[in-house]
């Protein structure tokens, strides 16, 4: 049961996240909320320290939800019949999730409302993004990763890093190429090189028989389309 390779360790770790996504509706809601918050933080031109508070609150909620699921599974494994202590253990772990969620709501309120982000003109915030392509790229890739992982969970095929539909590697490779093509001022030679690297990533997944052609094709199309939509949504149609 102990992973012997680094990739096996990553697969085991992400498999835990995938299991919680498959079985816990609240975890799926948390992931989608995280993606929306990341997009909103860039659109509103959020300061680094405010974004740090938001990310910390998001991670805390996700960790609490995962620990809650782990406690529930452990209790069910150790105690098949009803026991008052088992009920207390589950209630306490659920209470931890509730407190973490309250903290996240409080942080969101304090950051978005009391710091005045929602009262700023949207045009000003979008204009400030013209010099922060790296922030846009980071948030876009994070959102693509989250939504691709959710899509893999929905299709119930493969592992997070091996096999399945759509291919996460192909989606990220296509997303990086799309960003390179969209960001103003990127030299043409860089765009061509990024495309070549993305093609090599996709081709290697097929050559190693980790993915099929439809899986990498769907992953690349998904990653490119999602990146294009997110970039245009965040930065605006003029870029």
Q: What is the pLDDT of residue 163?
A: 58
Q: What is the pLDDT of residue 157?
A: 59
Lowest mean pLDDT among 36-45, 107-116, 193-202: 36-45
Between CA 43 and CA 236 the distance in angstroms is: 10
Lowest mean pLDDT among 49-53, 123-127, 150-154, 192-196: 123-127
Residue with tokens 């659109």: 43
Q: Which of 49, 65, 72, 123 is catalytic?
A: 65
Q: Degrees (nearest 5) of the Cα angle 6, 206, 213?
A: 130
Q: What is the pLDDT of residue 120?
A: 58
- Provide mean pLDDT across the span 26-35: 82
Q: Quick check: 203 pLDDT over 70? A: yes
Q: What is the pLDDT of residue 139?
A: 74
Q: Is 173 helix (H, G, I), strand (E, B) or coil?
A: helix
- Provide mean pLDDT across the span 46-67: 87
Between CA 232 and CA 226 the distance in angstroms is: 10
Alpha helices in 129-212 (DSSP H): 133-155, 168-182, 188-207
80 is catalytic: no
Q: What is the pLDDT of residue 130?
A: 44
User: pLDDT higher for 177 or 15?
Assistant: 177
- Provide the percentage of residues in the chain whose pLDDT is more than 70: 79
pLDDT in tens, 104-144: 888 888 888 777 766 655 444 444 444 456 667 777 787 78
Q: How many CB atoms lie within 10 A of CB 224?
A: 22
pTM over 0.75: no
Q: Quick check: 8 pLDDT over 50? A: yes
Q: What is the pLDDT of residue 123?
A: 46
Q: What is the pLDDT of residue 4?
A: 56
């Amino acid at each position: 049961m102990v992973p012997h390779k680094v990739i096996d360790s990553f697969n085991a770790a992400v498999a835990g996240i995938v299991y919680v996504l498959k079985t816990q509706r609240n975890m799926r809601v948390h992931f989608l909320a995280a993606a929306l918050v990341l997009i909103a933080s860039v659109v509103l031109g959020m300061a680094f320290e405010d974004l740090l508070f938001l990310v910390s609150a998001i991670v805390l909620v996700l960790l609490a939800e995962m620990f809650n699921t782990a406690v529930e599974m452990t209790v069910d494994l150790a105690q098949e019949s009803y026991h008052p202590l088992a009920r207390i253990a589950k209630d306490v772990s659920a209470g931890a999730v509730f407190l973490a969620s309250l903290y996240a709501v409080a942080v969101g309120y304090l950051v978005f409302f009391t710091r005045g982000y929602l009262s700023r003109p949207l045009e000003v915030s979008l204009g400030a993004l013209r010099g922060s392509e790296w922030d846009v790229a980071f948030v876009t890739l994070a959102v693509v990763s989250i939504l691709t992982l959710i899509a893999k969970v929905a299709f119930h095929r493969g592992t997070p890093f091996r096999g399945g539909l759509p291919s996460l590697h192909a989606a990220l490779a296509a997303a990086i190429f799309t960003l390179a093509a969209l960001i103003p001022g990127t030299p043409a030679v860089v765009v061509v090189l990024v495309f070549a690297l993305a093609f090599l990533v996709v081709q290697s997944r097929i050559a190693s028989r980790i993915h099929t052609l439809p899986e990498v094709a769907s992953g690349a199309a998904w990653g490119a389309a999602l990146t294009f939509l997110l970039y245009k949504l965040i930065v605006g149609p003029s870029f």
